[in-house]
Chains A and B, each alone.
Chain A
Amino acid sequence: MVKTGMVDRLVLSFIYGTLILLSLSVLFPIFYVVAVSLTPFEEVLRNGGFIVVPRAITWEAYRIFLTNDRIPDAYQVTFIITVAGTLINLVLTALLAYPLSKPRLPGRKIFLLLIVFTMLFNGGIIPTYLIVKATGLLNTLWAMMIPNAVSAFNLLIMKTFYENLPESLDEAAKIDGAGEVRTLVQIVLPLSMPIMATIGLFYSVGHWNEFFQAIMYVSDTAKFPLQVVLRGILSRSQSVEELSLEETMPTESLQMAAVILTAVPIIVVYPFIQKHFTQGVLLGSIKG
Chain B
Amino acid sequence: MKKAIPVLLMMVMLVGVVLAGCGDNSPSSSGKPSGQAERGDSSKDSNASKEPVEITVMLSGPGVPDLDKNPIWQQLSNDLNMDMELNVIASEYDQQLNVKMAGGTPPDLFNIGKVPLTEMGRQGLLLDLEPYLDDMPNVKALYDENLLNKGRVDGTLYALPKRADIPMDSLWIRKDWLERLDLEMPTNLETFKEVALAFTNEDPDGNGKADTYGITGTALYTFAPIFGAYGTGGPGSYAIKGGELVYTTEDPAFREALSYIADLIAAGVVDPEIMANKGTDDQQKAFQGKAGILFRGWGELVKDSYVEQYKSINPDAEWVQVGALEGPGDNYMSVWDLGRTPNRLAIPKSLEKSPEKLEQVLELLNYVTGDGKGQNIVNYGIEGTHYKVENGEVVPLPAMSDLDYSWQMQLTARDELAYLSVKFANQKPYIAFAQEQPRLEVYDSFIPVPQGVVADDKTTYETEEITKFIYGRRPLGDYDQFIETLYKQFQLQLYLDSAEDTLTELGYLQ
Q: Which residues of A contact B (CB under 8 A)?
A: 41-42, 45-46, 48-49, 69-70, 73, 76, 80, 83-84, 87-88, 91, 125-126, 129-130, 133, 140-142, 145, 185-187, 189-190, 212, 215-216, 219-223, 231-232, 235-239, 241-249
Contacts and interface: CB of A to CB of B under 8 A. Distances in A.
Interface of B: 1, 3-5, 8, 11, 14-15, 18-19, 21-22, 24, 26-31, 60-63, 65-66, 69, 87, 89-93, 95-96, 98-99, 102-103, 105, 113, 162, 165, 168, 279-280, 284, 287-288, 290, 297, 299-300, 303, 305-306, 309, 312-314, 340-343, 403-408, 420, 423-424
A221 B66 contact: yes
B424 A245 contact: yes
Contacts of B4: 185-186, 189-190
B165 A236 contact: no
A85 B99 CA distance: 24
Given A190-B1, A247-B404, A237 B21 contact: no
B19 A84 contact: yes
B292 to A, nearest CB: 16
Contacts of A141: 22
B102 A243 contact: no
Contacts of B99: 125-126, 129, 216
Q: Shortest 8 CB-CB distances between A and B: which pairs?
A: A129-B99, A84-B18, A246-B404, A42-B312, A141-B22, A242-B342, A232-B63, A221-B30
Contact of B91 (A235, A241, A242): A235
B91 A129 contact: no
B299 A243 contact: yes
7 contacts: A46-B288, A49-B288, A88-B15, A140-B24, A186-B5, A219-B87, A247-B62
Contacts of B162: 242
B340 A126 contact: no
Nearest to A130: B103
B92 A216 contact: yes
A236 B90 CA distance: 8
B403 to A, nearest CB: 8
B87 A241 contact: no
A243 B27 CA distance: 34
Kindly name the residue among A45, A48, A239 whose own CB sees the greatest number of chain B CB atoms within 10 A. Answer: A45
Contacts, number: 163
A283 to B, nearest CB: 13
Contacts of A241: 340-343
A220 to B, nearest CB: 6
Contacts of B407: 242, 244-246
A237 to B, nearest CB: 6
A275 to B, nearest CB: 16
Contact of A215 (B28, B89, B297, B408): B89
A222 B27 contact: yes
A223 B404 CA distance: 24
Given A80-B21, A238-B90, A246-B405, 10 more contacts: A45-B309, A187-B1, A212-B92, A216-B96, A222-B28, A222-B30, A237-B60, A245-B299, A249-B279, A249-B280
A46 B313 contact: yes
A57 B284 CA distance: 21
A186 B91 contact: no
Contacts of A238: 60-62, 90-91, 93
Nearest to A84: B18
A87 B15 contact: yes
A246 B91 CA distance: 20
Contacts of B96: 215-216
A239 B97 CA distance: 14
A248 B62 contact: no
Given A216-B96, A246-B404, A235 B22 contact: no
